[in-house]
Structures are given as C-alpha cells and as structure tokens.
Amino acid sequence: MKRYRKMALTAALGAVIGTGAMAQELYTPNMAYRTGPFAATGIPLMNGQADYMTLLNERDGGIGGVKVDFEECETGYSTEKGVECYEKTKGKAIVTQPWSTGITLQVLPKANVDEIPILASGYGFSPMADGKVFQWAFNVPAGYWDGADMIIQYLEEQGSLDGKKIAFLHLDHPFGKEPLPVLEMHAEDKGFELVPIPVGLKEMQNQSAQWLQIRRERPDYVIMWGWGAMNAGAITEAVKTKFPMENMIGVWWAGHDADLKLVGEDGKGYKSISWSFPNPDAPVMQELREKVIDAGLSQTNPEEAEGVFYGRGLVMSMILAEAIKNAQENFDTAEISPEQLRWGLENIDLTEERIAELGMEGMVPPFSTSCANHTGHSGGWMLEWDGEKFVKASDLLKANVDGYRDLIDSSAADYAEANAPWPVNEDCAAE
Amino acid sequence: MLYRTAGQFKTSYTADQALFPVRQDAVLLGIVLLLVWVVFPLTASEFAFQTLLIPILIYALAAMGLNILTGFAGQLSLGTGAFMGVGAYACYKMVTIFPELNPIVAILLSGIFSAGIGVAFGIPSLRIKGFYLAIATLAAQFFLVWLFEKWAWLYNYNASGAIQVPNLDMFGLYVSGPQAESVTEYYIVLAIVTLLTVVCINLTRGNLGRTWKATRDMDIAAELIGINLMKSKLTAFAVSSYVVGVAGALYVFMWKGAAEPNVFDIPLSFQVLFIAIIGGLGSIMGNYLGAILIVGLPVVLGTAADTRIFEMSALAGLLWLAGILAVAFLFWVARNLWGVAAALGFGAAMLLYGYAQTQGFRADSALVEHINTMIVGALIIFFLIIEPHGLNQLWRLIREKLIIWPFPH
C-alpha cells in the first residue's frame, strides 16, 4: 500500500511537472531504423537528422526560441512497427517522417484524414509532387521521377541514346518500380532499349543470376534502384563480373560510402545521382563538430560524419527546420500546429543566399515549394566515386518536370479516385 | 475456493458433455466477452485499437485456422502467410470489381477462394506426411507470393505493385479504408472472429473434428475404423484455409490498409505458426493467448519503456500492479515457483527501471527495441520450458489446481 501511495504521489507530481515541460516543445518524431536489415544505411541518416536538430537546440535554443523534440521511434523498417509508431506519435506530433516506401503507402491515406503533414524527403510516392491532391504529403527536394529524368539527361550528355541498351536493375518492391513509367517514356522518345531486371527482396545479397543476365544482355549502361544490402551486393557483383563501373549509375539511396568502401579502388567511376553533397568545409560542419560531436551529444563518428548519407540527414532536418521557421514567422506563434507547418512546408524558398546563411554551401541545390508543388524539384548533382570518397562529377542537373507533368497529374488523379472520398486542396491555384 | 465445483451436479449426459461443465468457466467467458464487446471499445484509444486489439484478434483468427490443420488434423503447414494473401487479394479484387458488394460479405466470401487454393495444395497430403508435407506447403508459400508480385491483374496494374484499400461504406458508415473509424473496424473484426470461433469450436467438437483428431493421432488406425482419410484431410485443409483467408482479408482491409506482396512472405507464416505453437496445438483458446503474447506483449513493453514508471497515472499503476500480482498468484497456485519468480522479477525490473529514470536514465528507442526483442524471445523459451504444450495447457493446469485451491489435496 505504501508503495502504491508513493507511486500515486509521484504520478500526481509528474503530471504537474510533465505538462509544464511539454508545453514548450516542437515534437517532430522520426521513424528511425537503427535495427533490422537496413540499419547500416539508416544509422548515418538518422544521426545526421538528429544532429542538426541538436545543433539548433544547443546553438539557438531550438527554432524561434522553442526546443525541438526530435524523438526517434524505432521501426526496424517494418511496416507494422511503422504504423505502431505513427499511432503512438500522432497525438502531439506536428509532422510525421515515415522513412520507408511501405510505411509511407500506409500512412499516406491516414495522414490525409488525421491532417498531419508527411515529410518524406527524397522518397515515397512520386505523384506526391501534386500538392493539390496530396495536400498533406511532401517529398522535397526531389522525387524518384526527377531522379530518373536527371540520370537520363546525364547519359544523353555523354552521347545520343538512340539504339543504346540500358539495364534497369531494381528492387522488386514498390520503391524499385517507382521510376519505371518515366524511364519507359524516355525509352520511347529517345529510342533506347530498356531492360528491367528485378531483384527480389530475398536475393538482395546474392545477385549472380541478375548479373549473368546483364552479361548476356551487354547493356551500355546499368541504372540501379537499390536500397540497403542490395547496393553492396550489386556493386561487388559488378566488380566481380568486370562491368565498367563508369557506366553504372545509382539512385541517391545507392550512393552510400560504406557500400563503395567494400570495393575501394575497383569501384572507381561508379556514379550516383544526388540532391545532397557532403561538404566537410561548410561552416555548419565546423559548428556540428564543435557543439555536437565533440560535446558528446551525437552517436556518430568522424568518419561517418563526412559521408554522403550523414550530409543528407543534415539537409533533411534543415528543410524541416526552415518550414517550421516559415510557419512561426507567418503565424506569429512559436508553437505551431500541424496545419501551420503544412503552410510552412508549402512556402519553402531556399535560395543560394539562404543556403549560405545556413552555412550549407554546396550541400543542397536551391529550390522552392508552393501549394501546388510539394516536391520543389531541386535537381541534383551526379556524384562519382573516386576510389575513396564521392566527388561531384557534373554541374547541377535540373529535372525536366514538364516532360512528365501529365503523368504526375493522371497518377495523382487515379490515386484520389481509388481512395474516394479524397479531400483535395480547392483553394490552391494551378501554377 | 474461487473455482469450487462442489454442488454442481450433472443429472444427464447432455449436461456432462456441455461446453462448460463447470459454471465458473461460463462466468469467466462472460466477463471476457463483456470486456471485449463493451469495456474495451468504450475506453480504448486509437493507439490501443490499431496496435493491440485489432491485430491480436486477426492474428488469433489466423492461428486458429492453422491450428485446425496442424493442431487438430495433424497436417503441418508453412504456407499460412500465402493463404492469408489469397484471402486479401481475393477480397481486393471483389470490392474493386463489384463496388456495391457489402464489405463484410466480401470478406466472408474471400475465404472461399483461399479454401479452394488450400485444398489444391493439400492434395499432396494424401501421399506424404510430416516434414515432407511441410515442404509441399512451403512450395505454396513461394509460388503464391511470386504470383502476387507477377500477376499485375491481381493488383489492378497499380504502378507500385501494392494493393490499397479503398474507402468502403455500409449503410452510410465507413467500415474500411482510411475514412473508417477504428472502433467500427474493431467491431467488424470482433464480430467475424467471434462468429468463426463459435463455428470452429463446434466443428472441432463434432463429427468432423473427431475424424480430424483420429487422423492426427494415427492415420492407419483411423482408416481401419472406417474414416475416409482423403475427406478428413481435405476438409481440414478447406476449413483451415477458409479461416486463414478471412483472417488475411481482415488483416489488409480492417487493419493495414495497404499491402505489398512481400507482407505475405514466410515471416508471416512463421509468426502465425509460433502463435499456434506457443498458444497450444489442438486448442481454440490457446490461439488468443498466443496472439496476446506474441503480438500484444512487444507493444505493451515498448509503451512501458516510453512511460516514466513513477509518473504514470494511478489507474495505470494499479493495473500493472494487479496484473503482476495476479500472474504471480496463478503461478503460485499451480506450484510453479519459476513462474512466480519471473512475474515478481518482472515487477522488480520495472521498479528498477523507474528508479533509473528518476536518476536521469533514458533508453533510446533502438536500445528499447533490442531489449524488447530479447525479452519476448526469452519469454517464448520460458513458456515452452515450463509448459511445452503451450499456454492453453498451462491454463488448464492452473485451472485444475484452482479448483482445489487452497487445499492442495
């Protein structure tokens, strides 16, 4: 009985203190995956995201004077855990960051009912670019269709694609199938032959069958849409079968330093399109080292902090922080609601000057969003592995969004129709 | 004392063979039904519906389907996940082809498709047994998941290859899809699960169930006393796959809302098999106990790790205390000191964790996840060691001891 009384007392006390502390926080949970089959790629991203928010909390006391609670909810990349995390956090969260195409697919219709913005930086469903239909979903700064378009543009710069053969090695999963419509469209326009080669989830680590097919088909280029263990598997197989690495191009999730370090010099020339770049000399990196990493507030190590994925995590959190700041300034309140954050995400204007002001020169291309444009279409750089690290191999490539505008519109309309009644943003004028 | 049977006389054979020969069993079931039909829906949060109540019921139903095949008829199956997938895809095709179809009817009909596929893959069971049959059902598992990926008609040529549940309404009330309220979905799941449980209890106690059990215990002997083995095995496959298929349709339509083919891959089959084994093969109630342990416990532990133990509300604290003491008491009655020690040890660990929290200790979510997996794994081993026949048998032993408690002889 005594124990119970003590417990009740602490409970009452805790309630008072707890609510006091809770009131001054921006709760932006992250559905992290530091465990499970994709942990190796997840950890640097999660660290980058968390460290940027820690930096803001340490340096500026949060955003607009309110601390950011960047709590992680562990999913292990499993959709069931993801839904659990979504339900657990949605009560007080101002944003949800689902972090896997599977979880995004499930959370997308729910968030439209619960009215919480989904921030899926560089992943998820490409038609989310249509902000009128997907009013609560954002895949800034670039979607998979942008990525596919930029890769084709880059290849065209190397010479006409007419009569060429391009193998599309992809994960047999919603994520891997995502760019197919745009690639098929280009294949028809530009006269190259597209050979889709799926890799099953169970065959990620052993792709000998797929690479045998690649050897037989003799493609001029291999475009890879891989994630997690699939990338390391493909890169080691490519080296083993002596495929010319300079003709192999991955999506941004296939540009993980650790995967390339496995093959080192042999991987020289491998490319990956990316909307982020790690710039160790950027002022923000200096500050991170001083205030976060050396202060022991981070789980990262110096080697990882120079990688592409860590830098990408920083950019993701920076975009969220910008949106929060926009909303705070516009609505003149420090504690914003999910609806106000949506406005913030729809009014990001990241110019070169603003990027420099944030100390992130060269780490992300400038872009802006609007109520109709939830992606921003920042474009990106082609990164190349020089044997030790990734370097920029091209100027900024901009996706030619008008080329597949119809596809975005029709896919978004199909989605809305299949999920009717699907409330759309009627107030938003077309661009 | 609590379970005293003295004074409950049976004066006819019918009374002696009734479903509940002991009155307290019926009372206990009444309390459980009252809880799930009235108390939980009124009190549960959105989180509890979506992560505890609905999934536990659906997994329990899937395990019940498997249990009919493996536990009652003795045919080992590793294809449960794929049969759930057949139900889900059949339901998806039906509601997209006939949008006017009542969703509940669609869900109940979708089991028929998986029953058909189940019988087709059950035909090898007429010739092979045991591990060899398990391999044959494994083939079904691989083949069907491959089919879900490759046959684009199944997912209406959707670019992402996933099926997405549309908003379905019934008499103006959304029952499925993102617009549906959790409580509506819960009541539908509960109604279907209750209905199928009653059907399964009656089937397994009746003529068909006895032929299944005879087939399980010794098929040659069963054949000698005139049981048609083909009929017995194939009906087991049909009924089992029907229930599993309905569970699959509920799994996607009432819970997940969207599913890609690999959701139905072998990990799902194993999970359902674990529930059936931990719960107890050849029992109905065991499936619920197993689902609570395997599906519910990780969620409860994860939530407990997130709350500050000394700051939780008085009611929650009281519930935890009562739960731990009740488990300890039941193990005490069953003279199982390991169980008592485990329950009290769990309570002590919680207090210790609460104390560490007051000292500023914070477990990050990845660590919690690792520890959670370890605890659940350890509990599975623990229950299998103290009672290899599953939670259902454990409850039966406790119940027998309760009848004579507090006098051990």
Please count the residue pairs, one from chain A and one from chain B, whose beta carbons lie less than 8 angstroms apart: 118
Question: The complex's ipTM?
Answer: 0.78
Flag whether B317 is in a domain: no
A231 token code pair: 């990338």
* pLDDT band, very low/low/confident/very high, at B1 (cuts 50, 70, 90): low
Residue A235, pLDDT score: 92
Residues A365/A141, Cβ–Cβ less than 8 Å: yes
The predicted model gives B192-201 an average pLDDT of 94
* pLDDT band, very low/low/confident/very high, at B204 (cuts 50, 70, 90): very high
Query: In whole numbers, what is the pLDDT of chain B averaged over residues?
Result: 89
Q: Is B116 an 8 Å CB contact of chain A?
A: no
- Please give, rounded to a whole number of angstroms, the shortest distance from the CA of B186 to a CA of chain A: 15
In degrees, to the nearest 5, what angle opens at C-alpha B395 toward C-alphas B389 and B401? Answer: 115
User: Are A421 and B311 a contacting pair at CB < 8 A?
Assistant: no
Among A106, A134, A139, the strongest candidate for a mutation testing the B interface, having the largest count of B CBs within 10 A, is A106
CATH topology of domain A24-143+278-379+401-418: Rossmann fold (3.40.50)
Residue A216, pLDDT score: 92
DSSP character for A289? I
Q: Is B41 an 8 Å CB contact of chain A?
A: no
List, in sequence order, every residue forming a beta bridge with A380; answer none if it has no partner.
A397
Q: Spell A10-40 as b/e; 16+ CB within 10 A means b.
A: bbeebeeeeeeeeeeebbbbbbbbbbbbbbb
Flag whether B249 is in a domain: yes
Residue B361, exposed/middle/buried by CB under 10 A (0-12, 13-18, 19+)?
exposed
Chain B positions touching A113 (Cβ under 8 A) are 178-179
Among B141, B176, B311, the strongest candidate for a mutation testing the A interface, having the largest count of A CBs within 10 A, is B311
Q: Which residue of A has its CA nearest to B370?
A: A35
Query: What count of other Cβ atoms lies within 10 Å of the Cβ of residue A134?
Result: 26
Chain A positions touching B302 (Cβ under 8 A) are 84
Contacts of A403-406 with CB under 8 Å at 24 or more apart are A403/A149, A403/A185, A404/A145, A404/A149, A404/A181, A404/A182, A404/A185
Q: Which residue's entry shows tokens 């999963």?
A: A173
Chain B positions touching A93 (Cβ under 8 A) are none
Flag whether B400 is in a domain: no
Backbone angles phi, psi at B11, to 5 degrees: -110, 0
User: Are B162 and A174 a contacting pair at CB < 8 A?
Assistant: yes
Residues A171/A225, Cβ–Cβ less than 8 Å: yes
Residue A429, pLDDT score: 66
Angle between the N-to-C axes of helices B266-279 and B365-386, in degrees from 0 to 180, rounded to the nearest 10: 50
Chain A positions touching B263 (Cβ under 8 A) are 79
The predicted model gives B62-81 an average pLDDT of 93
Residue B370, pLDDT score: 86
User: Are A15 and B311 a contacting pair at CB < 8 A?
Assistant: yes
The structural domains of chain A, with segments of one domain joined by +, span 24-143+278-379+401-418, 145-274
**A342, B19, B310, B365 from A71: Cα distances, Å:** 20, 50, 21, 8
Q: Which residues contact B282 (CB under 8 A, 6 or more apart)?
A: B67, B71, B72, B213, B216
User: Are B179 and A4 a contacting pair at CB < 8 A?
Assistant: no
Three-class DSSP labels, chain B: CCCCCCCCCCCCHHHHCCCCCCHHHHHHHHHHHHHHHHHHHHHCCHHHHHHHHHHHHHHHHHHHHHHHHHHHCCCCCCCHHHHHHHHHHHHHHHHHHCCCCCHHHHHHHHHHHHHHHHHHHHHHHHCCCHHHHHHHHHHHHHHHHHHHHHCHHHHCCCCCCCEECCCEEECCEEEECCCCCHHHHHHHHHHHHHHHHHHHHHHHHCHHHHHHHHHHHCHHHHHHCCCCHHHHHHHHHHHHHHHHHHHHHHHHHHHHCEECHHHHCHHHHHHHHHHHHHHCCCCCHHHHHHHHHHHHHHHHHHHHHHCCHHHCCHHHHHHHHHHHHHHHHHHHHCCCHHHHHHHHHHHHHHHHHHHHHHCCCCCCHHHHHHHHHHHHHHHHHHHHHHCCCCHHHHHHHHHHHHHHCCCCC
**Over chain A (431 residues), what is each successive 10-residue block's mean pLDDT?**
43 38 73 85 90 90 88 85 86 88 83 89 86 88 91 90 92 86 92 91 85 92 89 90 92 89 89 90 88 85 86 91 91 89 90 90 90 88 90 89 88 84 76 48
CA separation for the pair B128, A173 (Å, rounded):
35
Q: Is B160 an 8 Å CB contact of chain A?
A: yes
Flag whether B301 is in a domain: no
Residue A16, pLDDT score: 36
Flag whether B216 is in a domain: yes
Please state the domain count of chain B. Answer: 1
Least confident of A337-351, B1-15, B216-230, B259-273: B1-15
The predicted model gives B396-402 an average pLDDT of 86
Query: Among A80, A87, A421, whose Cβ lies nearest the Cβ of B47?
Result: A87
User: Are A420 and B369 a contacting pair at CB < 8 A?
Assistant: no
Residue B193 falls in which region: left (phi positive, over 0), alpha (psi -120 to 50) or beta: alpha
Chain A positions touching B368 (Cβ under 8 A) are 74
E strand or H helix at A417, and its extent? helix A405-418
CA separation for the pair A113, A135 (Å, rounded):
11
User: Are A84 and B302 a contacting pair at CB < 8 A?
Assistant: yes
Chain B positions touching A200 (Cβ under 8 A) are 149
Residue A14, pLDDT score: 39
Chain B positions touching A11 (Cβ under 8 A) are 310-314, 317
E strand or H helix at A384, and its extent? strand A381-385
User: Are B51 and A32 a contacting pair at CB < 8 A?
Assistant: no
**Which residues span the domain enclosing B240?**
45-280
B127 token code pair: 């010739």
Contacts of B21-25 with CB under 8 Å at 24 or more apart are B22/B403
Query: What count of other Cβ atoms lies within 10 Å of the Cβ of residue A326?
Result: 21
Q: Is B364 an 8 Å CB contact of chain A?
A: yes
Q: Is B263 an 8 Å CB contact of chain A?
A: yes
Q: Which residue of A has its CA nearest to B174?
A: A421
Residue B63, pLDDT score: 96
Backbone angles phi, psi at B373, to 5 degrees: -60, -40
CA separation for the pair B409, B404 (Å, rounded):
7
**A106, A151, B91, B103, B250 from B109: Cα distances, Å:** 25, 47, 8, 10, 12
Q: Which residues contact A262 (CB under 8 A, 6 or more apart)?
A: A232, A235, A236
Query: Among B257, B262, B310, whose Cβ lies nearest the Cβ of A10?
Result: B310
B368 token code pair: 């919690």
Chain B positions touching A173 (Cβ under 8 A) are 161, 260, 262
User: Are B311 and A113 a contacting pair at CB < 8 A?
Assistant: no
User: Are A35 and B258 a contacting pair at CB < 8 A?
Assistant: no
Q: Is B357 an 8 Å CB contact of chain A?
A: no
Q: Is B323 an 8 Å CB contact of chain A?
A: no
User: Are B312 and A76 a contacting pair at CB < 8 A?
Assistant: no
* pLDDT band, very low/low/confident/very high, at B238 (cuts 50, 70, 90): very high
Closest CA to B140 of B216, B215, B77: B77
CA B164 centroid distance within chain: 24
Among B260, B303, B372, the strongest candidate for a mutation testing the A interface, having the largest count of A CBs within 10 A, is B260
A23 token code pair: 């009131």
Q: Is B181 an 8 Å CB contact of chain A?
A: no
Q: Spell A253-273 as b/e; 16+ CB within 10 A means b.
A: bbbbbbbbbebeebbeebbbb
Q: Is the pLDDT of residue B200 over 90?
A: yes
Query: What count of other Cβ atoms lies within 10 Å of the Cβ of residue A241?
Result: 12
User: Are B257 and A172 a contacting pair at CB < 8 A?
Assistant: no
User: Are A11 and B263 a contacting pair at CB < 8 A?
Assistant: no
CA separation for the pair A163, A296 (Å, rounded):
55
Q: Is B296 an 8 Å CB contact of chain A?
A: no
Q: Is the pLDDT of residue B194 over 90?
A: yes
User: Are B51 and A73 a contacting pair at CB < 8 A?
Assistant: no
% chain B with pLDDT above 70: 99
CATH topology of domain A145-274: Rossmann fold (3.40.50)
| SS3 state at A26 | strand
Query: Among B51, B260, B306, whose Cβ lies nearest the Cβ of A174?
Result: B260
| SS3 state at A69 | strand
Query: Among A8, A18, A419, whose Cβ lies nearest the Cβ of B167?
Result: A419
Residues B136/B75, Cβ–Cβ less than 8 Å: no
The predicted model gives B272-300 an average pLDDT of 91
Residue A300 falls in which region: left (phi positive, over 0), alpha (psi -120 to 50) or beta: beta
Q: Which residue of B has its CA nearest to A14?
A: B311
Angle between the N-to-C axes of helices B229-250 and B54-67, in degrees from 0 to 180, rounded to the nearest 10: 170
The predicted model gives B319-336 an average pLDDT of 89
Flag whether B172 is in a domain: yes
User: Are A418 and B365 a contacting pair at CB < 8 A?
Assistant: no
Dihedral sign for Cα atoms in the order A368, A373, A376, A377: negative
Q: Is the pLDDT of residue B211 over 60?
A: yes
A362 token code pair: 């060269």
CA separation for the pair B197, B102 (Å, rounded):
22
* pLDDT band, very low/low/confident/very high, at B408 (cuts 50, 70, 90): low
Q: Which residue of B has its CA nearest to A104?
A: B258
Chain A positions touching B177 (Cβ under 8 A) are 109, 419
Q: Is the pLDDT of residue B112 over 90?
A: yes
- List the alpha helices (DSSP H) in A66-201: 79-89, 101-114, 144-157, 174-177, 180-190
Query: Among B51, B162, B321, whose Cβ lies nearest the Cβ of A84?
Result: B51
List, in sequence order, every residue forming a beta bridge with A115; answer none if it has no partner.
none
Dihedral sign for Cα atoms in the order A209, A212, A218, A219: positive
Length of chain A: 431
Chain A positions touching B147 (Cβ under 8 A) are none
Flag whether B323 is in a domain: no
Residue B207, pLDDT score: 92
User: Are B167 and A105 a contacting pair at CB < 8 A?
Assistant: no
The full DSSP string for A173-222 is SHHHHTTHHHHHHHHHHHTPEEEEEEE-GGGTT--HHHHHHHHHH--SEE
| SS3 state at A294 | coil
